[in-house]
């Protein structure tokens, strides 16, 4: 019995070691795949690369659209190399890209020209609600695929949709003593984001946060930045930047924890203009 016990103990340890090794191997393989996918992503717009592909002297890769848009690399500020990355173009032309709904159980892989068409109709894609009703006192009960939310807002709430990465936001008749919450939908970088602002008189704070709509892990690929200027835009400037929040987290929790843009009412008094308007700039970028 004792010998048998030793053998069982050894077999158990061997099994545990094998399982741990398998788990570690799977995790390492998954991390390697994610790192490789990052290499196949444009350093500016965060979309998958396709020919023609360019790069800077610092090694960052760019799609043709972003290459034409920037004078220097937005990541390292170095000049662009004036030739194409042909090797990377060959890889992206033949690579099978995973569906972005893989965390929801989709195991399909496609060449790039087929991938986006699949993601629009993928049966595993995440569903979401139109939250404009909750914050804007409107009657909207829409629920559907997250990839379709911006089309719904475009049709039903067009004044709440912005199709750009850089936005100048203006709050008219701003009063720090008021309380309100507003929400916008931003379609940028090939993705959709909710952007919330809240003036909380109890906390004496003005808050803002951008929430990525889609798989949780992809929220880490983007960040939002806000810039506030004084009345003359020459006295001082306040800037904030952080990764976007995933849409599985309640915005109330984000605001309560102040893990977002947050300015005190005292500071806001230096920013409100003579016509009682508050101006700030919002940018969505790849992380």
Convert the pLDDT of each residue in 206-254 to its tens digit.
999 999 998 888 899 999 999 998 766 567 788 999 999 999 999 999 9
pTM strictly above 0.85: no
Which CATH architecture is the domain 47-95 placed in?
A: 2-Layer Sandwich (3.30)
Cα distance between residue 67 and residue 89, in whole Å? 15
**Which pLDDT tens digit goes with each residue over 57-105?**
999 999 999 999 899 998 899 999 989 999 999 999 999 999 988 888 8
3-class secondary-structure state, position 214: coil
Q: What is the CATH number of domain 129-286?
A: 2.60.210.10
Distance of CA 156 to CAs 86, 185, 192, Å?
Answer: 44, 12, 16
**Residue 131 above 80 pLDDT?**
yes
């Amino acid at each position: 019995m004792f010998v048998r016990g030793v053998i069982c103990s050894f077999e158990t340890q061997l099994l545990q070691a094998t399982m741990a090794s398998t788990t570690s191997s799977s995790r390492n393989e998954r991390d390697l795949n994610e790192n490789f996918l990052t290499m196949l992503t444009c350093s500016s717009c965060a979309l998958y690369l396709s020919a023609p592909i360019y790069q800077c002297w610092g090694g960052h890769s760019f799609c043709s659209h972003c290459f034409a848009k920037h004078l220097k690399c937005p990541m390292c500020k170095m000049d662009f190399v004036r030739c194409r990355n042909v090797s990377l173009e060959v890889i992206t032309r033949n690579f099978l890209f995973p569906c972005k709904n893989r965390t929801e159980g989709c195991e399909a892989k496609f060449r790039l020209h087929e991938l986006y068409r699949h993601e629009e109709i993928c049966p595993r894609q995440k569903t979401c609600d139109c939250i404009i009703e909750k914050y804007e006192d409107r009657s909207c009960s829409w629920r559907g695929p997250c990839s379709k939310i911006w089309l719904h807002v475009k049709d039903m709430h067009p004044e709440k949709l912005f199709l750009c990465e850089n936005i100048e936001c203006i709050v008219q008749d701003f009063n720090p003593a008021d309380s309100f919450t507003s929400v916008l939908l931003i379609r940028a970088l090939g993705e959709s984001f909710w952007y919330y602002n809240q003036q909380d008189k109890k906390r004496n704070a003005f808050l803002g946060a951008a929430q990525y709509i889609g798989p949780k892990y992809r929220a880490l690929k983007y960040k939002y930045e806000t810039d506030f200027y004084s009345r003359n835009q020459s006295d001082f400037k306040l800037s904030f930047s952080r990764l976007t929040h995933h849409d599985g987290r309640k915005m109330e929790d984000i605001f309560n924890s102040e893990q977002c843009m947050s300015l005190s009412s005292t500071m806001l008094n230096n920013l409100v203009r003579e016509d009682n308007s508050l101006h700030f700039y919002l940018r969505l970028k790849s992380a």
